[in-house]
Amino acid sequence: MPKKEYLKKVMVIGSGPIIIGQAAEFDYAGSQACRALKEEGLEVVLVNSNPATIMTDTHIADRVYIEPLTVEFLEEIISKERPDGLLATLGGQAGLNLAVQLSEHGVLEKYKVELLGTSLKAIKKAEDRELFKETMQKLGEPIPESKIVETVEDAVKFAGEIGYPIIVRPAYTMGGTGGGIADNDQELVEIVIRGLKYSMIGQVLIERSVAGWKEIEYEVMRDSGDNCITVCNMENFDPVGVHTGDSIVVAPSQTLTDHEYQMLRSASLRIIRELGIEGGCNAQYALDSKTNNYYVIEVNPRVSRSSALASKATGYPIAKVSAKIAIGYTLDEITNAVTQKTKACFEPALDYCVVKFPRWPFDKFVLADHTLGTQMKATGEVMSIDRNFEGAILKAVRSLEIGVHYLSMEHVAEWNDETVLKKLALINDERIFVVAEALRRGIADIDKINEITKIDKWFIRKIKNIIDIEKRIKNEPLTQELLLAAKNKGIADRSIAEIAGKEMLEIRRMRKEMQIMPCYKMVDTCAAEFEAATPYYYSTFHAQEDEVQPSDKRKVVVLGSGPIRIGQGVEFDYCSVHSVWALREMGIEAIIINNNPETVSTDFDISDRLYFEPLTPEDVLNIIDKEKPEGVIVQFGGQTAINLADSLEKAGVKILGTSVDDIDRAEDRERFDELLEETHILRPCGESVTNVADAIKAAENIKYPCVIRPSYVLGGRAMEIVYNEDELRDYMGRAVKVSPEHPVLIDHYMQGREVEVDAICDGTDVVIPGIMEHIERAGIHSGDSIAVYPPQTLSARVIYTIVDYTKRLALGLNVKGLMNVQYVIVDEHVYVIEVNPRSSRTVPFLSKVTDIKMVNVATRAALGHSLKEMGYHSGLVTPKPYVALKAPVFSFAKMQDVDISLGPEMKSTGEVMGIDYHYSRALYKAITGAGMNIPTNGTILFTVADKDKEEMQQLAKAFSELGFNLVATKGTAESIDKMGIAVDIVGKVHESKGDILEMIKAGKINMVINTLTPGKTSAKDGFKIRRSTVEHGIACLTALDTAWQVLRVLSFMRERRLVYTLALQDYVGGGDDLA
Amino acid sequence: MKGKLTLEDGSIFTGDLLGDKPACGEVVFNTGMTGYQEILTDPSYCSQIITLTYPMIGNYGTAEKFNQSRNCFANGFITGELCDVGSNWQKESELSEFLKDKGISCLYNVDTRALTRCLRSAGTMKGIITAADAAENECEKLMSIPLDHKTVDRVTTPEKYVLENDGLHIVAMDFGVKRHMLESMHERGCKVTVVPARTSAREILELKPDGIFLSNGPGDPKDVLDIVETIKQLIGKKPVFGICLGHQLIALASGADTYKLKFGHRGSNQPVKDLRTGRVYISSQNHGYAVDEKSLERLPFDITHISMNDGTVEGMHHKTLPLFSVQYHPEASPGPDDNTYLFDEFCAMMKKGAI
């Protein structure tokens, strides 16, 4: 069937901010879809609230709207743009839910917008539990006995009928929010209450648990001509019970016979046909490991995280093909982009093994519950490819950047045998390491581990293969045969060195002498059956032919940023992609190395060459040995890439842009102080210490409060503010391992206004595209603050000083490329807090609002081009006539036991942008886009620390004047009462009946303003209050600055038109008369 | 023991040898990711050396129920990793034991991707599996063994046998039939009488079948021109359905021509378009020869199926007679079962009536 010719303009909905369960994969899918639509000559209108995305680039879509993803805003955009069609199956669950809402509100009908691809009916059939159940029963596809319930009583009653364990899944949520497995009535009640809260339609499904069965997934495609194919199947290393987003996954399946493989494939085809899906779809199964019995667990009628993984695992571009199907094409009409010869209507054949490993935020949320279940907790993932499982799993492990490079964790190794055995039974982020440890010690054999964990013996045996080689390395001389065997099983030089008690470079040298070098192979969708054009490669030691021929062109390697984690998100992938594009524009061959399957940078047609490899010195050097590039760009890949700079340079690799030595000058405390002295720039006084005693002495000199952190951090890891010696001691004992090699930095904490600047320098000139002012005072991590461009409260003098300092710092550090500086302003004085000679989290945001391709310019600068020749002059670029705010988005609902109060440690997972000509509306958009549930009336609870009470009084007054009822805890209430404002006193936690928690539970409180109170009980109570706001979905503001802004929005909401939209192209292109 | 594969063009691929038996045969590759046992027991691979492109083989062991014929007729087997201990509840023995039992020479730990790339560009060719240190003259001697052209006779059933049932009666000419093909007809209620390849047309017609089934099988269809003569006598007498070699033999019997493909179609992911409906189905394929499209032009045949990959003929239907055939494997095993509808079509054709 040919293209629907009547379609001229198509709207694509993005997935909004990055949250757990909905990450960069939708930027990848959305960008690919937009490009596919443009390729067909369609005008593309894109809506997404997330500025840190490639899809919101003005060259990806013709009309880009960075606006809140709500029905009101979308309707406004639709009325303005009048698209012929809407593509909603590529924007994750968020996009899908919006399409459903738009249809239900009659918007699609009103503006005659055709929903492209999978129909609403199909979406509902797959997403609505009852309809899904009916459909499966009609098909004869087995599903676990289940029941939809809307009350706790019904849940308990049904549980009585089918027995425990029982899985609870809320309807219409993503990432399994609010779900869980219950083993008894009490647990069931708890989970059902939460689940009902999170379900958009107040329903949860309770069903028989098939925990322990094999979990198998299929990625299926169908077109309007009813052609169906499966792109890929995947087997979860972790049996059913762990959310697939939190499971280690291999592709293709490893332990299924052809009969089993085809049985589930055929089921997938039957299901996608019956649902009538047009595009991509994901089907998940539980397969018994002792019979051919299976259950259908879930079907996602859209492009998902798994489809991004399947695309990267096979080379088959699911999003692109889905987009083409949506506009009318059938699979046999779409060219296979990889071979360029065959069609998209085929099933990829893999000739390698793919492993996906989740990246959890437990390094940030140390206190969070590490247990894995039906609720996804990972923020990101890595993928690896090799010719065997052992090689692939080890590549994945060393891609994680969690301080391990093989299946061994320091603290696990310290446990006694009993603990190891006990921990085997736990399902958490460490399980595979515990399995390895048990095998290493020989305290449990394959059968026993299988019995405890239900992990298939095949996987356990593979881990044992690795352990067996480890033992040989430990006990035998490193002969060529042994080294080759070790490399065949994927063991890194660094791990071999550690096990054999040698140096990594020594192993590398030995290996090179013995000519044990990796071969590179291509991912080509067809197992070499046809010649392929895609430059998508992976390494293996398990081969005899290296099929990748380096070109003799001028070439540069760009290092990617690895898995998405808190502090290093999709922003850095945005930068890597733009750097690659800049190089290609310059006619230089751009080679990217990265390991994140969710990203645009690992799309096979972004760079000239893509190496899907871990970002470790060994893996990167192997590629460099082969490709011999002119140099490597490290400044766009976040701290991941920066951390590699030193070892690469030591190995003789040229680092393009700012030198390694200058990077060190910015990161090393003493050298940085020297620089500041030379450049006459002030910073909060501080010291670097290497032991506890010195820390206490230093803090006394500097004066409390102090900000403490280990050196070399990203995302404010382990950074805290301490107000006295006790807190300092506590921190030193708990959060860091201080040593001469790992000093700790102590600075005086200055509670001023925080400002952030990104600048580009070529060594002579310094261009400052814009300055961002933070709404929250210093002390809250910059990634968690609301930032506004251009600054709203800074005096001309301060701005002048900032510009001047930024120039001095850039030139002083010999920056060639991007630099990010954070300042704090106190009493009109400017102090520098931090300098990062690399691209930062704010670069995509700033690039978008200033219309300066910052990464492109910086890449050119790094390669020696002058800013002048690119048409830029030193200094601050004239600010635009509009305002843009960047607001953080958190995933607290997914992470139980995490305190939501903001501080120097970063907690947000994503961001949104609000842009407008009016500050207040931009703010409204940012806050709405971030999903903050601001009440327009009702009751606000105040409970603040003593130090904040004075300021809080004014705030309370203002809220009261807006008509809100105020309630407060005793101390806070007294302080409000003094102002003559009516306030009700509420009992502290467990103080009395009808205490704060009960009021929140009963829905009597609509917003909470709570600041962190020192002291153990208060801290605990505050934590409980804050968590309960998360569980009940009400806004909780933990900084008074944020509260003031919310107040501003509330006033604005009463006065002005709330919904106004304008495409980014119009903002940067000169504006809109109607504004 | 270290071993190697030497190709006719002198290329050498190293690996480890299971057993110590040298082997010689035409080296072909299959891209299926599962179904190694079904592939190994598919008689169409008779006297060939099978290379699997998926690098981890043997993961789920082997079981009697997956065998597609009474034996394993391939001459050799080449893989990446050969899994020593498989994991699946149905496993009866390890793949390595199975290979030893069947006396199949297996070279593993081979860079099968490199080998596949070589075969893809140079075409399938003869190769020998030997010990790594095999003497040169020994290799030459092995290499000079001519390829077997009597493969159908090696694989066909020595005796007639019957799969009893109450429904339509099919006589299946066994040129190397896969068990699941017979089962697919039997499952549809048909009584299937399997006869040796050299059974005469008269004998077949005397069995009074409702339809005649021509099976898959190994080698060049032109190696069995005498069977082509038999088929000529059957066409028009009864409804006929042919698969793979059966399809090629129908073409030859009808005056069309066949030719050898450069490296054949072997895998479980081959897209085939049904030209009558425009629908595309994923099929399991295993063929080194194809029917020449041009040679069909002036014959009373419609091409019903083509390969989406290279446009070659994958199925045809006689314009007037109840006669049709496909090049690929609707019975799957291994591979997808998208195409079982063809067996239904055959049954419908037989029901519609005798000629």
Residue A233 falls inside a structural domain: yes
Per residue in A861-888, pLDDT (tens digit) is 999 999 999 999 999 999 999 999 999 9
Choosing from B125, B148, B171, the residue where a domain stops is B148
Choosing from B121, B148, B175, the residue where a domain stops is B148
Of all residues in chain A, what percent carry a pLDDT higher than 70?
97
Decide if A185 contacts A191 (C-beta within 8 A).
no
CB distance from B336 to chain A under 8 Å?
yes
Decide if A249 contacts A237 (C-beta within 8 A).
yes
Residue A598 falls inside a structural domain: yes
Q: Examine the domain organization and report whether B190 and B271 are in the same domain.
A: yes
In this prediction, residue A712 carries a pLDDT of: 60
Q: Examine the domain organization and report whether A864 and A850 are in the same domain.
A: yes
Residue A104 has pLDDT above 80, yes or no: yes
In this prediction, residue A25 carries a pLDDT of: 93
- Distance of alpha carbon A642 from alpha carbon A635, whole angstroms: 6
Q: What is the DSSP string of A881-943?
A: SSEEEEEEE--GGG-TT------SS----EEEEEEESSHHHHHHHHHHHTT----SSSEEEEE
Longest dimension (CA), chain B: 63
CB distance from A193 to chain B under 8 Å?
no
Residue A173 confidence class, pLDDT cut points 50, 70, 90: low
Residues of B whose CB is below 8 A from A262: 34, 332, 334-337
Task: Give ∠ CA A930-A935-A940 in degrees, rounded to 5.
Answer: 115
- Distance of alpha carbon A42 from alpha carbon A616, whole angstroms: 42
Q: Examine the domain organization and report whether A552 and A532 are in the same domain.
A: yes
Give the nearest partner residue to B337 out of A262, A342, A348, using CB atoms.
Answer: A262
What's the burial of A980, exposed, middle or buried (CB within 10 Å: 0-12/13-18/19+)? exposed
Q: Examine the domain organization and report whether A490 and A638 are in the same domain.
A: yes
Q: Which run of H or of E encompasses A381? A: strand A380-386
Residue A366 confidence class, pLDDT cut points 50, 70, 90: confident
Residue A397 falls inside a structural domain: no
Q: Examine the domain organization and report whether B144 and B170 are in the same domain.
A: no
| Residue A507 structural domain | 457-655
Q: Examine the domain organization and report whether B136 and B65 are in the same domain.
A: yes
Residue A709 has pLDDT above 90, yes or no: no
* Pairing relationship of beta strands A817-826 and A753-761 according to DSSP bridges: antiparallel
**Domain CATH number, residue A559:** 3.40.50.20
| Residue B258 structural domain | 152-352
Q: Examine the domain organization and report whether A741 and A678 are in the same domain.
A: no
- Distance of alpha carbon A80 from alpha carbon A1063, whole angstroms: 10
Choosing from A455, A490, A515, the residue where a domain stops is A455
Q: Examine the domain organization and report whether B279 and B177 are in the same domain.
A: yes
Point out which residues pair with A478 in neighbouring strands: none
Per residue in A192-212, pLDDT (tens digit) is 988 887 776 788 888 888 989
- Distance of alpha carbon A810 from alpha carbon A818, whole angstroms: 9
Find the DSSP H helices in B57-159: 95-102, 112-122, 136-143, 151-155
Residue of A nearest to B66 (CA): A259
Q: Examine the domain organization and report whether B114 and B214 are in the same domain.
A: no
Per residue in A260-308, pLDDT (tens digit) is 999 999 999 999 999 999 999 999 999 999 999 999 999 999 999 999 9
Residue A980 falls inside a structural domain: no
Choosing from B105, B131, B148, the residue where a domain stops is B148
Averaged over A821-850, what is the pLDDT? 95
Q: Examine the domain organization and report whether B83 and B181 are in the same domain.
A: no
Q: Examine the domain organization and report whether B9 and B110 are in the same domain.
A: yes
* Pairing relationship of beta strands A114-116 and A85-87 according to DSSP bridges: parallel
Q: Examine the domain organization and report whether B88 and B197 are in the same domain.
A: no
Residue of B nearest to A265 (CA): B336
Instruction: Report the number of distinct structural domains present in chain A.
Output: 7
Averaged over A318-328, what is the pLDDT? 96
In total, the C-beta contacts within 8 angstroms joining chain A to chain B are: 166
Decide if A510 contacts A480 (C-beta within 8 A).
no
Q: Which of residues 291-320 of A touch B (CB under 8 A)?
A: 291
Residue B354 has pLDDT above 80, yes or no: no
Q: Examine the domain organization and report whether A726 and A766 are in the same domain.
A: no
Q: Examine the domain organization and report whether A179 and A267 are in the same domain.
A: no
Instruction: Report the number of distinct structural domains present in chain B.
Output: 2
Residues of A whose CB is below 8 A from B336: 262, 265-266, 347
**Domain CATH number, residue B199:** 3.40.50.880
Residue A690 confidence class, pLDDT cut points 50, 70, 90: confident
Residue A990 falls inside a structural domain: no
**Domain CATH number, residue A321:** 3.30.470.20
A709 Cβ contact list (under 8 Å, min separation 6): A716, A717, A718, A719, A720, A744, A745, A904
In this prediction, residue A1073 carries a pLDDT of: 47
Q: Examine the domain organization and report whether A631 and A671 are in the same domain.
A: no
Residue A110 falls inside a structural domain: yes
pTM: 0.95
Token pair of A251, please?
């592709």
- Distance of alpha carbon A550 from alpha carbon A559, whole angstroms: 18
Residue A1011 falls inside a structural domain: no
Amino acid at A426: L
CB distance from A549 to chain B under 8 Å?
no
Q: Examine the domain organization and report whether B81 and B196 are in the same domain.
A: no
Averaged over B93-105, what is the pLDDT? 96
Residue A899 has pLDDT above 70, yes or no: yes
CB contact under 8 A, B85 and A461: yes
Q: Examine the domain organization and report whether A529 and A574 are in the same domain.
A: yes
CB distance from B11 to chain A under 8 Å?
no
Say whether the ipTM exceeds 0.90. yes
A169 is in an annotated binding site: yes
In this prediction, residue A786 carries a pLDDT of: 96
Residue of B nearest to A252 (CA): B33
Q: Which run of H or of E encompasses A1037? A: strand A1035-1037
Q: Examine the domain organization and report whether A474 and A595 are in the same domain.
A: yes
Per residue in B189-234, pLDDT (tens digit) is 999 999 999 999 999 999 999 999 999 999 999 999 999 999 999 9
In this prediction, residue B297 carries a pLDDT of: 94
CB distance from A475 to chain B under 8 Å?
no
Point out which residues pair with A556 in neighbouring strands: A590, A631
Residue A95 falls inside a structural domain: yes
Q: Examine the domain organization and report whether A274 and A328 are in the same domain.
A: yes
Residue A758 confidence class, pLDDT cut points 50, 70, 90: very high
- Distance of alpha carbon A522 from alpha carbon A538, whole angstroms: 7
Among B60, B183, B262, B266, the strongest candidate for a mutation testing the A interface, having the largest count of A CBs within 10 A, is B60
Decide if A302 contacts A22 (C-beta within 8 A).
no
Averaged over A1008-1016, what is the pLDDT? 80
Residue A1017 confidence class, pLDDT cut points 50, 70, 90: low
Q: Examine the domain organization and report whether B66 and B132 are in the same domain.
A: yes
Averaged over A457-464, what is the pLDDT? 98
Per residue in B19-31, pLDDT (tens digit) is 888 999 999 999 9
- Distance of alpha carbon B227 from alpha carbon B176, whole angstroms: 13
B342 is in an annotated binding site: no
B244 catalytic, yes or no? yes
Residue A128 has pLDDT above 90, yes or no: no
Token pair of A737, please?
């391992």
In this prediction, residue A507 carries a pLDDT of: 97
Q: Examine the domain organization and report whether B158 and B244 are in the same domain.
A: yes
Q: Examine the domain organization and report whether A179 and A293 are in the same domain.
A: no
Q: Examine the domain organization and report whether B135 and B183 are in the same domain.
A: no
Q: Examine the domain organization and report whether A90 and A239 are in the same domain.
A: no
B248 is in an annotated binding site: yes
CB-facing half-sphere around the CA of A692: CA atoms within 13 A: 13
What's the burial of A764, exposed, middle or buried (CB within 10 Å: 0-12/13-18/19+)? exposed
CB contact under 8 A, B269 and A348: yes
**Domain CATH number, residue B77:** 3.50.30.20
Decide if A560 contacts A596 (C-beta within 8 A).
yes
